Amino acid sequence: MSKRYSLYIGRFQPFHKGHKWCIQKMIRSGKKVCVAVMDINYLEPENNPYTYDEVLKKISEDMKEELQKGQMMVTKIPAIESVNYGRDVGYSFNELKPPKEIKKISATKIRSKNDTNI
């Protein structure tokens, strides 16, 4: 396994099966994953009801095995407006294309039901 990480940025409001699928796909392809959780609750609580600590707890519960094996890590980042790069800097941008049953998962719908067990 590489010593470099694949970065996965998100709000994770809430962390759900779709997010888990993406992380596990990267791990299955031999990557280590750095999950970067935006600390955004205090800026936009109406769309981001979960605090960083609540998101971290959910990720830690759902990804316990991957964390224990050192296949992933979680870090807090500020609210991100855009992701930019200037030239070929030695890493790539990859889109993960989930199957239909994962793609249809909506954090907005989950929040409206107040159901984080998705």
pLDDT in tens, 69-97: 999 999 999 999 998 888 877 888 888 88
DSSP lists the bridge partners of residue 75 as 36
Mean predicted lDDT score pLDDT of the chain: 90
With CA atoms as reference, report the closest residue to 35 among 5, 13, 80, 78.
Answer: 5
Whether residue 118 is predicted with pLDDT greater than 70 in this model: the reply is: no
Query: Domains of the chain (ranges plus CATH)?
Result: 5-113 (3.40.50.620)
Q: Comparing 15-19, 41-45, 105-109, which segment has the lowest mean pLDDT?
A: 105-109
> What is the pLDDT at residue 2?
62
This prediction's pTM: 0.84
Q: CA angle at residue 90 from 87 to 92, to 5 degrees?
A: 85
